[in-house]
Amino acid sequence: MGHLGIIGGSGFAALPDVEVAHREWVDTPYGAPSAELLTLRHAGQAFYFLPRHGAGHSIPPHAINYRANVQALADRGVTDVVALGAVGGIAADCGPLRLCVPDQLIDYTWGRLSTFYDGADGDVMHVDFTAPLTPGLRERLLAAAAGAGMDVHAGGTYGVTQGPRLETAAEIRRLERDGCDLVGMTAMPEAVLARERGLNYALLAFVVNWAAGKADGEVTMADIEANLARCADAVRRLLLALVAAH
């Protein structure tokens, strides 16, 4: 079985209380990744960790160098990528503090460098993206959750918006009509770049707020940050259960 890589999202620039065995900046043909690539150890297993927003959460979603991040993981032999994402809940069963392992994506982003095959070197590839989130890796993540006695929402569609602003209520109504259960800003082009590099890719999304118009009042950063902190232990437990079983 190949190496596991975890891409940390909002609230996860590191994994507390896990041994850091090595850290390095990885040079890629696409520039520098968001941060140092960490080699972590848990339960006798080594795995990689890369915070997509940088060590100090300084890189907004639309400005992330997704190509460099994915390439850095691929260059270190990672075959399985679990990406963390703080998201808004749209569906009634995807409310705050819910952990979700979605199985579909809808991409609403624009202007992001979304392929390694941009024609610059005369090479073009069209990858199949019918199932954008690798079924086998999703099942392993769900099995780890079950083994840890954790209730995780299986399935659902993640709508990927441009950011960094949050959405309007009308935009959320549109996403809901399109079939989205969750809304976030980072799953694309990360997922398709992983597919182009032949990596398995799954999302562990944790809901930190109701999406715009789904609850009374405005979405506040104070509420989001409080729910991030409340999700942190469950996310860490699930990731370490997956590592131990990898």
Pairing of the two strands 200-210 and 99-101:
antiparallel
- 25 marked among binding-site residues: no
Q: Which residue, 68, 5, 77, is CA-closest to 35?
A: 68
Other Cβ atoms within 10 Å of 149 Cβ, number: 8
- 221 marked among binding-site residues: no
- 3 marked among binding-site residues: no
- 109 marked among binding-site residues: no
DSSP string, 194-223: HHHTT-EEEEEEEEEEEPTTSSSS---HHH
Cα–Cα–Cα angle for 65, 99, 3, nearest 5°? 50
State which amino acid sits at residue 186: T
Pairing of the two strands 104-107 and 157-160:
parallel
11 close to 236: Cβ distance less than 8 angstroms: no
175 close to 90: Cβ distance less than 8 angstroms: yes
- 74 marked among binding-site residues: no
* Segments in the chain forming alpha helices (H): 66-75, 135-147, 169-178, 187-196, 221-245
User: Which residues are annotated binding-site positions?
Assistant: 10, 52-53, 185-186, 209-211
User: Which residues are annotated binding-site positions for phosphate?
Assistant: 10, 52-53, 186
User: Which residues are annotated binding-site positions for substrate?
Assistant: 185, 209-211
